[in-house]
Amino acid sequence: QLLTLGNHPIIYYSIKDAIDSGAKNVYLIVTSPNSDVETYVRSQDFSNKVNFLYQPQPLGITHALFQARELITGDFFALVFPDTLNFGNTPSLQQAIDYFRKVQSNIFSYSPITREELQFTSGTLRFEEQESNLGRRITSFSFVKPDEAKQIEGIHKVSFIRILSRNYFDYASKALNSSPVDDHQPFKELVQNEPTFSLPLRGRFFDTGVPEGYKRALEHFKWEKIFKTKAKSERQRIILE
């Protein structure tokens, strides 16, 4: 998460997206106090909005999120996977929040990708959905690895921003008492028991957690810089003329 992308480490973009979307408190789960990630974040202007939780061992998403259960006081909270980025005109979390205001329910937002783009991510979700007056309600889902997904036609979905009810922690508690822990199980129970809607995000997606995805993001920033430099040069030429 401290690999450089453009002029900033990757972690910068997810935190900035959350703050630009109106988040008042950001809880960042890191390995230990004074980790490189924490040191970097504390040096930034937005550090007063970021709180740190610690997971010394990589025990999975369920265990990591469970550390925050006492700090989440509202009925809903947002989960963001920070190594997956989406760049668009509207911050990604803001898009999910805007839809939440309509449905007042759980949301799995996602970036739609083609089969050719599967090489740039570590996996996708396959939704079973029903149409409703509020949108597409998810009735079940499964995680699909890229090699398996390549056999499936159509659009694939990478879900990295979710708005979840606080009841998630009840399902997480049950999952943590099983062995091995299935990190997808709490989400599946949430979907089965509570209204959960899918939301396609507008923008361009990059999964920097896999090497090919990070290379793709670097290429995007390279061409974006060239385009901006050329556009600036054109504006200066027009002014001079």
Write the pLDDT tens digit of every residue in 142-167: 999 888 998 888 889 999 999 999 99
Among residues of the chain, what percentage have pLDDT more than 70?
92
Q: Evaluate if residue 226 carries a pLDDT over 60.
A: no
Residue 147: count other Cβ atoms within 10 Å of its Cβ. Answer: 9
Residue 236 region, left (φ>0) first, then alpha (ψ -120 to 50), else beta? alpha
Write down the mean pLDDT value for the chain.
Answer: 89
Least confident window among 99-113, 127-141, 220-234: 220-234
Q: Evaluate if residue 230 carries a pLDDT over 60.
A: no
Q: Which residues contact 203 (CB under 8 A, 6 or more apart)?
A: 86, 87, 88, 89, 90, 92, 111
Q: Which residues contact 234 (CB under 8 A, 6 or more apart)?
A: none
Calculate helix-pair angle for 92-103, 10-20, nearest 10 degrees.
40
Write the pLDDT tens digit of every residue in 41-71: 999 988 899 999 998 888 899 999 998 999 9
Distances (CA, A) of 109 to 51, 164, 191, 219: 24, 11, 13, 25
